[in-house]
Amino acid sequence: MARFVQFIERPISRSRDQQWEVKYPYADTPLRHWLSEQGMTPGPGQKGFIFRGPGERIDRIMEEGRLQFPDIQWRRKPVLKSTSNNQGMVPVDPVLLKRYIDRLTVQRYSPNTISTYRNAFIKFLAGIAPRHPNELTRDDILEFMLALQQEGRLSASYQNQMINAIKFWYEKVECQPRQQYELPRPRKAEPLPKVISTEEVASMIRRTTNLKHRCLIMFAYGAGLRNAELLALNPTHIDSKRMVIRVERGKGNKDREVPLPDQLLPLLREYYRAYQPRTYLFEGQQKGTPYSSKSLQLVIAKAAQKAGICRRVTPHMLRHSYATHLLESGADIRYIQDLLGHKSIRTTEIYTHIARTRKPPSPLDSLSLE
């Protein structure tokens, strides 16, 4: 991988001085010491250097650096303003971005995935500006990823999303052959699902008196639906004769059917008479609009608080609890895989690590201690 030193101008207010963020291979001790001698100070979290001074001084440092370290690439980037709001954003080619989004849409990616890829691609374009993506080499892309890491705000999950967004441009939009870009993919953490007990679920439902809220909680737990799947349901997806719920275009654009719980049907009929939903089964304050994901989270969090549950409970935790309780009741794991809409059985097998019926008792319990 190419070694480089990069000076990135950052805007600072109430000062005439220019401020530069200096990125470099931290493991190169001689280089680090040399840069420090040029009057640079460690950046936040001891990551990289910060230098305040005119651009002419940066030019002289780069000239001297090329003589001292000829094997290193020395680069300077103009001011890159914050993208936290619409003002001062790095210009992004709207035609190029439209091609990218159109391709995502044509390939029927979900709205959430389109939004994630779009935001990652915009960050990529801003980071390589003013160059076009097709002008980059593999080393350039690696340097961009390294720069993101050095900012200290790049989680393993976001790094993988960024890699996928970049690959989508070259492989799907530009139709280049699929290839390995040698981009480092970090290992994802594999935490166990968080669940609550059947008694806690029952307490949440009993203590929720609002009819719509009670239906939402019983749907989230009783059908094991994802947030987006639950909020996308419409009245025609409920088949009371066959006692099934039809989930259309779930994750991976797949349809599936899950059983409609017996205890949910009479409550659902009462809810339908009271609210008369038109387009979505659970609508927001305005008819024809779906109930918001944030509101669903608040409903479940409030119900958990009323039930005396100290932990933070989320809609997805109810889905985890649904799968775990099914496994504990003796349901076949392949059947649970189908109900959850998992593509791989390995995704479903994670519940075997927390289901109580699958774990042998501790040998301590077999000791006679009295």
CA-based nearest residue to 274, from 219, 210, 227: 210
- Specify whether the CB–CB gap between 244 and 255 falls below 8 A: no
Higher pLDDT, residue 248 or 16 = 248
pLDDT at res. 86: 40
> Can 251 be counted among the known catalytic residues?
yes
Instruction: Give tens-digit pLDDT for 326-354.
Output: 999 889 999 999 999 998 898 898 888 88
> Can 221 be counted among the known catalytic residues?
no
Structure tokens belonging to residue 145:
């990823």
pLDDT at res. 116: 87
Structure tokens belonging to residue 277:
């939903």
CA distance 32 to 24: 8
> Can 75 be counted among the known catalytic residues?
no
One domain, residues 104 and 237? no
Catalytic residue among 214, 319, 320, 325: 319
Q: Within the chain, where are the H helices?
A: 29-37, 55-68, 94-106, 111-128, 138-151, 156-168, 198-206, 211-222, 227-231, 264-275, 293-306, 315-328, 333-340, 345-348
> Can 237 be counted among the known catalytic residues?
no
One domain, residues 213 and 347? yes
Catalytic residue among 52, 138, 226, 237: 226
> Can 319 be counted among the known catalytic residues?
yes
- CATH number for the domain that contains residue 16: 3.30.780
Domain annotation covers residue 84: no
Domain annotation covers residue 89: no
Instruction: Give tens-digit pLDDT for 195-206.
Output: 999 999 999 999
Domain annotation covers residue 83: no
| C-alpha gyration radius of the chain | 27
Identify the weakest region by mean pLDDT among 52-61, 92-101, 113-122, 351-360. 351-360
Structure tokens belonging to residue 80:
């890159």
Catalytic residue among 24, 117, 170, 351: 351
Cis upstream peptide for 361 (omega within 30°): no
Structure tokens belonging to residue 263:
């205890």
Catalytic residue among 167, 212, 251, 306: 251
One domain, residues 353 and 205? yes
- CATH number for the domain that contains residue 119: 1.10.150.130
One domain, residues 273 and 310? yes
Structure tokens belonging to residue 8:
């990135």
CA-based nearest residue to 232, from 160, 274, 290: 290
For residue 15, the SS3 value is: coil
Per the document, the length of the chain is 370
* Edge-first strand listing for the sheet containing 49-52: 41-42, 49-52, 19-23, 4-10, 73-77
One domain, residues 354 and 235? yes
- Tell me the residue range of the domain where 283 lies: 198-358
Catalytic residue among 3, 47, 99, 342: 342
pLDDT at 63 over 80: yes
For residue 39, give the H/E element and its range: none
pLDDT at 64 over 90: no
